[in-house]
């Protein structure tokens, strides 16, 4: 858990927890500016790396993940107290047998109006990943919210570049943007 940090670097860390262990985030980042995670191995039961609100300037490079769920931004947009998320770079990483690959998710019907901008994913290898690329602005697990009102979170400048490997499902890419504030500048370059 990295909360309210400025300029912190994780170098060569190993986070291992059994994959049947629910809700053990590998590294959760929130309200922090300047977080670097490099040359590390992360495997656990839930999100390998997750970015909560207020995460800014986060760099993840040369990291191996798996087992676990994903590299995740969100879920965001439920509360008005949330802060913007900006400048994520994920580069040269391998995800092995994770449930999702990289995912950005926001709640429909939420109060939050923050922006999520400059999210860049580059040179990523996925090995047997169920859902490699997901943007989901109608994230509503167990139908605990209403999809009637669209998410008010604006997502912009997201790039997926040179992402390769094997998907466990037919749909390798799922992009569901908000009908209220549509995504802008989403690029996929395989």
Q: Which of 19, 25, 46, 47 is catalytic?
A: 46
Shortest Cβ distance from residue 62 to ligand NAG (Å)? 3
Of 150, 131, 127, 19, residue with least CA distance to 72: 131
Measured CA to CA, the distance from residue 83 to residue 116 in angstroms comes to: 10
Residue 92 or 167 with smaller CB distance to ligand NAG? 92
Binding footprint of ligand NAG, residue count (CB under 6 A): 6
Site string for ligand NAG, 90-129 (x = CB under 6 A): --x-------------------------------------
Cis peptide before 182 (omega within 30 of 0): no
Q: Which of 19, 47, 69, 136 is catalytic?
A: 69
Measured CA to CA, the distance from residue 45 to residue 33 in angstroms comes to: 26
38: contact with ligand NAG by CB under 6 A: no
Shortest Cβ distance from residue 34 to ligand NAG (Å)? 5
Cis peptide before 87 (omega within 30 of 0): no
Is 130:97 a contact under the CB 8 Å cutoff?
A: no
Residue 87 or 109 with smaller CB distance to ligand NAG? 87
Closest residue to ligand NAG, Cβ-based?
A: 62
9: contact with ligand NAG by CB under 6 A: no
Tell me, yes or no, if 46 is annotated catalytic: yes
Measured CA to CA, the distance from residue 187 to residue 173 in angstroms comes to: 12
Which residue from 3, 5, 7, 190 is in contact with ligand NAG, where contact means CB under 6 A? 7
DSSP codes, 82-106: ---EEEEEEEEEEEESBSEEEEEEE
Which residue from 24, 59, 64, 174 is in contact with ligand NAG, where contact means CB under 6 A? 64
165: contact with ligand NAG by CB under 6 A: no
Distance of CA 74 to the CA centre of its chain: 6
Distance of CA 169 to the CA centre of its chain: 19
Burial tier of 134 (Cβ tally within 10 Å: 0-12, 13-18, 19+): buried
The catalytic site residues sit at 46, 69
Binding site for ligand NAG (CB under 6 A): 6-7, 34, 62, 64, 92
């Amino acid at each position: 858990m990295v909360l309210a940090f400025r300029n912190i670097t994780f170098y060569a860390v190993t986070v291992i927890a059994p994959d049947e262990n629910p809700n053990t985030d590998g590294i959760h980042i929130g309200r922090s500016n300047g977080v670097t995670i490099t040359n590390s191995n992360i495997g656990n039961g839930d999100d390998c790396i997750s970015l909560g609100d207020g995460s800014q300037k986060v760099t993840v490079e040369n990291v191996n993940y798996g087992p676990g769920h994903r590299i995740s931004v969100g879920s965001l947009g439920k509360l008005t107290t949330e802060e913007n998320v900006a400048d994520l770079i994920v580069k040269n990483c391998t995800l092995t047998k994770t449930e999702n690959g990289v995912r950005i998710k926001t709640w429909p019907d939420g109060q939050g109006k923050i922006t999520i901008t400059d999210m860049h994913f580059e040179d990523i290898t996925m090995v047997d990943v169920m859902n490699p690329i997901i943007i989901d602005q109608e994230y509503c697990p167990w139908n605990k919210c209403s999809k009637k009102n669209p998410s008010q979170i604006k997502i912009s400048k997201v790039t997926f570049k040179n992402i390769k490997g094997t998907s466990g499902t037919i749909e390798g890419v799922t992009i569901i943007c908000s009908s209220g504030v549509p995504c802008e500048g989403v690029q996929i370059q395989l």
